[in-house]
């Protein structure tokens, strides 16, 4: 594959991933405002953008490995976000006195180490075939195993804010 195409795949992957997230947020807003059909459209387009993003990622060299390798990659990405990326974002939000953003970054940083912990566990359990349900906090992204907690340990959200996977 040529250098330009490789670079363009990375650009298209990032753009489509962003579009998918943005459309989901637009869909939630439409839902909240009572526009059921428009919410459905935003969700459908988000789904489609995500199809594009995944298609590009599969075409990029060396981005998807064996499941064991992918767990390892995912684990390291969480650690990097927790240790290298969020601390500086938190620091700058603090310096500029934007407390809502500081809170969001801080909670995400804490949640990333939880994600890393779950990946580590899954690597160890791969052969044991342990079954569990993951409940995701829709406020901060914390993940609980087996059962959703009464309150999120990171952001305090109530049980009803958790989605099972």
Contact residues for Fe ion, defined by CB under 5 A: 78, 112, 115, 137, 139-140, 142, 152, 154-155, 157
Between 16 and 112, name the residue whose CB sits nearer to Fe ion. 112
CB of 52 to Fe ion, least distance (A): 22
Between 30 and 118, name the residue whose CB sits nearer to Fe ion. 118
CB of 162 to Fe ion, least distance (A): 8
d(CA 119, CA 74): 7
Between 9 and 154, name the residue whose CB sits nearer to Fe ion. 154
Instruction: Report the Cα 34 to chain-centroid distance in Å.
Output: 26
CB of 117 to Fe ion, least distance (A): 11
CB of 135 to Fe ion, least distance (A): 10
SS (H, E, C) the chain: CCHHHHHHHHHHHHHHHHHHHHHHHHHHHHHHCCCHHHHHHHHHHHHHHHHHHHHHHHHCCCCCCCHHHHHHHHHHHHHHHHHHHHHHHHHHHHHCCCHHHHHHHHHHHHHHHHHHHHHHHHHHHCCCCCCCCEEEECCCCCEEECCCCCECCCCCCEHHHEEEC
Between 9 and 152, name the residue whose CB sits nearer to Fe ion. 152
CB of 77 to Fe ion, least distance (A): 7
Between 62 and 160, name the residue whose CB sits nearer to Fe ion. 160
């Amino acid at each position: 594959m040529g250098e330009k195409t490789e670079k363009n795949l990375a650009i298209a992957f990032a753009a489509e991933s962003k579009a998918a997230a943005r459309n989901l947020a637009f869909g939630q807003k439409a839902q909240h405002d009572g526009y059921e059909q428009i919410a459905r459209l935003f969700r459908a387009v988000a789904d489609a953008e995500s199809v594009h993003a995944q298609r590009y990622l599969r075409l990029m060299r060396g981005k998807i490995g064996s499941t064991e390798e992918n767990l390892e990659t995912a684990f390291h990405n969480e650690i990097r976000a927790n240790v290298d990326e969020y601390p500086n974002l938190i620091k700058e939000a603090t310096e500029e006195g934007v407390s809502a953003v500081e809170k969001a970054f801080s909670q995400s940083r804490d949640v990333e180490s939880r994600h890393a912990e779950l990946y580590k566990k899954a690597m160890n359990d791969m052969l044991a075939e342990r079954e569990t349900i993951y409940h995701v906090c829709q406020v901060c992204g914390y993940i609980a195993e087996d059962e959703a907690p009464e309150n999120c340990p990171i952001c305090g959200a109530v049980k009803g804010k958790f989605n099972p996977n």
